Amino acid sequence: MSESCQLAAEDSRVVIAVDLDYFYAQCEEVRDLSIKNKPVVICVFSGRSEDSGAVSTANYIARSLGVKSGIPIRLAKRILREDSTAVFLPMDIEYYRIVSERIMEIIQSKGRKFEQTSIDEAYLDVTTEAGADYERAEMVGRSIKEGILTSEKMACSIGIGKNKLVAKMAVDSHKPNGFTVFSPGKVRSFLDPLPVGKLFGIGPKTEEKLRAMGIALVSELAKANPKTLSDHFGKNLGPTLREIANGEDNSPVVEKPIEQFSRIITLKKDAQTFDFKDVLAPLSSDLSEKLSSSNLNCKSIGIIAITNQLKIKTRSRTIPFPTQSGDEILKIASELFFAFFDEEKSVDGLKIRRAGIRIADLSPITTPKSGTLEDFV
Ligand code: DGT
Ligand code: CA
Ligand code: CA
């Protein structure tokens, strides 16, 4: 294929990048609306002493005061010492995973080619749905944003571009609650004036090396002599740097099958046990419908119990034959909860606040060959 054909093919793709805003902290805000207007800091306590550990993330109120990912919890407490409303919460990754799964289902439902790249990030290649029409791609982007807001009360940022790299740069350029479209004609004017260090994939060391070569801006890197770049950075990285500066990226949106689905419910009040059928039947039938609409079976059924101390306990079982049946999911989840309460009954004061079911080990349903028994006799 000639180079011009390749470029034309590259420009004809449309990719949407979704990144959830201050994700862990926003999950906590959604769980407890009363903290929404306060600084919220999510902490990974190391356990060595009361406040040792690092900040995982913080909401934008806390960020505006100087708190950011990775700093020591003690430093964050010092920064916010004057603010008596500041909230410090332990990271509750299981809960964020469940919220993430539901949001990923929404994004995936908006297009055929979906790739999740982290707990709060995904790409959707909408070339088939939108062609190279950016207005149609924008409509898909808006419907993702609205879907996540309506169902999960959560804000996200969206970026749209001709490939994953450009979509990622678009989404990163406006946060939180951003919606940024870099149509092919806009890429250059956005990239050119940036310092090279702003490019996705260029770290401080590479930036320093480029600066030493007299390349400070993206516009300069985009036109840099390919041989000089290869001499300094090698045959792989050299050309890649130039491609990044030109907003070129051929990596496809790789469809990965979703690995698990979970449904979770908060009990009316914290309880030592609960009526399994009442609580678990709606979750089981919801999961069964999800399997059916995705044309999948599951082979692993598990339970999630979140205690009043916010500890997360799980159990799971692999079944001999893959299933889609809500009744079977309900039966096994009930057995697992029964065994769970039996095992944990000696734990003093144990109460359950939220109960859930997770199904995993998913496989596509292969339709049996058409034909009736008569065909074989
Ligand atoms: P954003 O996207 O800038 O609005 O804010 P986040 O918090 O969503 O940041 P992002 O997308 O880089 O990371 C997603 C989640 O990953 C974030 O909510 C918490 C976690 N995370 C990010 N950086 C760190 C870190 O340095 N340490 C730990 N433990 N977790 C992190
Ligand atoms: Ca994020
Ligand atoms: Ca992210």
Q: Residue 59's pLDDT is what?
A: 98
- Cβ–ligand 1 contact at 29 (below 6 Å): no
360 with 283, same domain: the answer is: yes
- Cβ–ligand 1 contact at 297 (below 6 Å): no
Residue 250 lies in a domain: no
Nearest CA to ligand 1 atom 31: 56
Residues with Cβ within 5 Å of ion ligand 3? 19, 120-121
Q: Residue 310's pLDDT is what?
A: 73
163 with 114, same domain: the answer is: yes
Atom of ligand 1 nearest to the CA of 60: 4
- Cβ–ligand 1 contact at 120 (below 6 Å): yes
- Cβ–ligand 1 contact at 334 (below 6 Å): no
83 with 148, same domain: the answer is: no
Tokens of 358: 């997770």
Q: Residue 346's pLDDT is what?
A: 77
Q: How far apart are CA 299 and CA 290, in angstroms?
A: 15
201 with 241, same domain: the answer is: yes
Nearest CA to ligand 1 atom 28: 56
Tokens 């902290």 sit at which residue? Answer: 25
102 with 159, same domain: the answer is: yes
Give, for ligand 1, the residue of 21, 57, 71, 95 to mutate: max count of ligand atoms closer than 8 Å to Cβ.
57
- Mark 141-162 as b/e (b = at least 16 C-beta within 10 Å): beebbebbeeebebbbbbbbbb
d(CA 8, ligand 2 centre) in Å: 32
DSSP structure string for 280-345: HHHHHHHHHHHHHHHTEEEEEEEEEEEETT--EEEEEEEEEEEE--HHHHHHHHHHHHHHHHHHHT
Q: Residue 72's pLDDT is what?
A: 98
CATH number of the domain residue 225 falls in: 1.10.150.20
Residue 254 lies in a domain: no
In this structure, the strands spanning 87-90 and 260-271 are: unpaired
106 with 12, same domain: the answer is: yes
- Cβ–ligand 1 contact at 217 (below 6 Å): no
Residues spanned by the domain of 208: 194-245
Q: Residue 257's pLDDT is what?
A: 74
Q: Residue 368's pLDDT is what?
A: 56
Distances (CA, A) of 95 to 305, 328, 333, 343: 11, 25, 19, 23
d(CA 178, ligand 2 centre) in Å: 11
In this structure, the strands spanning 87-90 and 40-45 are: parallel
Domain count, the chain: 4
Atom of ligand 1 nearest to the CA of 176: 4
7 with 135, same domain: the answer is: yes
Residue 369 lies in a domain: no
Nearest CA to ligand 1 atom 27: 56
Residue 252 lies in a domain: no
- Tens digit of pLDDT for each residue in 194-209? 999 999 889 999 999 9
Q: Residue 291's pLDDT is what?
A: 95
Q: How far apart are CA 324 and CA 284, in angstroms?
A: 10
d(CA 23, ligand 1 centre) in Å: 7
Q: Residue 53's pLDDT is what?
A: 96
- Cβ–ligand 1 contact at 288 (below 6 Å): no
Question: Of 59, 79, 94, at which residue does a domain stop?
Answer: 94
Q: Which amino acid is at 284?
A: S
272 with 346, same domain: the answer is: yes
264 with 356, same domain: the answer is: yes
The verdict on whether omega for the bond into residue 364 sits within 30 degrees of 0, i.e. cis, is: no
Nearest CA to ligand 1 atom 9: 22
> Counting ligands in written order, which one lies closest to the CA of residue 58?
1
Show the low-confidence residues of the chain (pLDDT under 50): 1-7, 369, 371-377
d(CA 120, ligand 3 centre) in Å: 5
Residue 376 lies in a domain: no
CATH number of the domain residue 73 falls in: 3.40.1170.60
Residue 134 lies in a domain: yes
Atom of ligand 1 nearest to the CA of 120: 14
Tokens of 34: 């009363």
111 with 176, same domain: the answer is: yes
CATH number of the domain residue 358 falls in: 3.30.1490.100
Residues involved in catalysis: 121
19 with 29, same domain: the answer is: no
Q: How far apart are CA 291 and CA 364, in angstroms?
A: 9
Question: Of 210, 245, 280, at which residue does a domain stop?
Answer: 245
Residue 374 lies in a domain: no
- Cβ–ligand 1 contact at 21 (below 6 Å): yes
- Asked whether the beta carbons of 279 and 303 are under 8 A apart, the reply is no
Residue 298 lies in a domain: yes
Question: Of 94, 120, 146, at which residue does a domain stop?
Answer: 94
- Cβ–ligand 1 contact at 22 (below 6 Å): yes
Tokens of 355: 């109960």
16 with 148, same domain: the answer is: yes
Q: Rounded to two decimals, what is the model's pTM?
A: 0.82
d(CA 234, ligand 3 centre) in Å: 29
